[in-house]
Amino acid sequence: MKKAIFLTITLSIILTVLVIKKTSKDTITSDNPTTTLPVIAITQIVEHPALDAERNGIIKSLKNAGFEDGKNVKIIYKNAQGNISTSAQITQNLISENPKVIVAISTPSAQSCLKACQEKGIPLVFGAVSDPVEAKLITTLQERTEPVVGVSDSVPISMRLQFIRDIVPGLKRLGVIYNPGEANSSNIVKSLKDEARKNDIEIIEATANKSSEVDGAMRSLAGKIDALYIPDDNTAASSISSIIKIGEQLKIPVFSCDTSLIASGLVATYGYSHFTLGEIAGDMVVKILKGTPAGQIPIPNDIPAELIINAEAAKRAGLELPKDLPKEVKFYKAAG
């Protein structure tokens, strides 16, 4: 009897040790069994091609530098589905993970994170932000005291208008669809109106506070405009397929400065590769992980923009392309 009891106790101890070892193996996430993986938190206001491309560029840069999810870092990604309140909740959830750095893709996401990051001393890297100074994310593009750095996707206002005029020479009325709740969009539209006034062009606005309102905003411009411009607006970009479809029905050529949307059917785009911008932001994250203070990392202002034209989309929109296009133009070709 005593022998049986002894064997039972011995087996119980062995099983307990094995369970503890297995549990330890499952939960240890670095080479050091007393530590867990450093967390990189990524928050994004909504999913659409530009923001997704930027996120993919960030992850590629991290991988190129040797930082891979589940191996030596833990990457947490959250998407607010276009909801500002959800974005604020996501920030609090991410802060509770005690991340080494938070990456906020879009102006609304970065603004949601700013105060909490400053209070907790967590570096903030922003991406897909048109004007970080106007958005009050930083005070200057030069060396900064705040633990914030990132990449701007803003194209000079004069160039935004000029590339459309090059393709639509008789442009007199330019429509703009945007969400007035997005600070970056409102600022761009205001500047665009000032620039258009100098060139005797009227800007006709149509606003959409959420993606479900975009179709109605687009149809409200029927017969009122010569072309449509989509600013750096997440609400409009997330509904780009609907905008393009209605634009082709109404024979309205659609333009944007978001190069990732050219495959969706834009007539032309002048801007930056968001994947490349993401790679640059990813390099910033790497520097932070290696100990460089965010405020000491330069914000680049010399990223080359590119003009891309989708000739097939121009044809579907009833637009005949002029023969004297800028020399640097590239023509989009669909894959396959």
CATH node for 157-272+305-331: 3.40.50.2300
**What is the block-wise mean pLDDT of the chain (336 residues), using blocks of 10 residues?**
46 42 34 69 95 97 98 97 95 97 97 96 96 90 86 91 93 97 90 96 97 97 97 93 96 94 95 95 98 94 91 94 90 82
- The CA distance from 53 to 277, in Å, is 9
Residue 336: per-residue pLDDT: 58
Residue 18: per-residue pLDDT: 43
Residue 280: per-residue pLDDT: 98
For tokens 């959409």, the residue is 208
| Nearest CA-CA partner of 38 in 326, 300, 323, 291 | 291
Architecture in CATH for domain 39-153+274-296: 3-Layer(aba) Sandwich (3.40)
Tell me the sheet residues that pair with 102. Answer: 41, 124
Alpha carbon 278 to chain centroid distance? 8
Domains 39-153+274-296 and 157-272+305-331 share a fold: yes
Residue 317: per-residue pLDDT: 92
| Nearest CA-CA partner of 101 in 39, 170, 15, 152 | 39
Domain assignments of the chain as residue spans, ordered by start:
39-153+274-296, 157-272+305-331
- Tell me the H-state helices in 125-182: 157-167
- The CA distance from 115 to 118, in Å, is 5
- The CA distance from 128 to 94, in Å, is 20
| CB-count burial class (<10 Å; 0-12, 13-18, 19+) for 213 | middle
Q: Please give the DSSP secondary-structure letter assigned to residue 154.
A: P
pTM of the shown model = 0.80
Residue 25: per-residue pLDDT: 34
Residue 171: per-residue pLDDT: 96
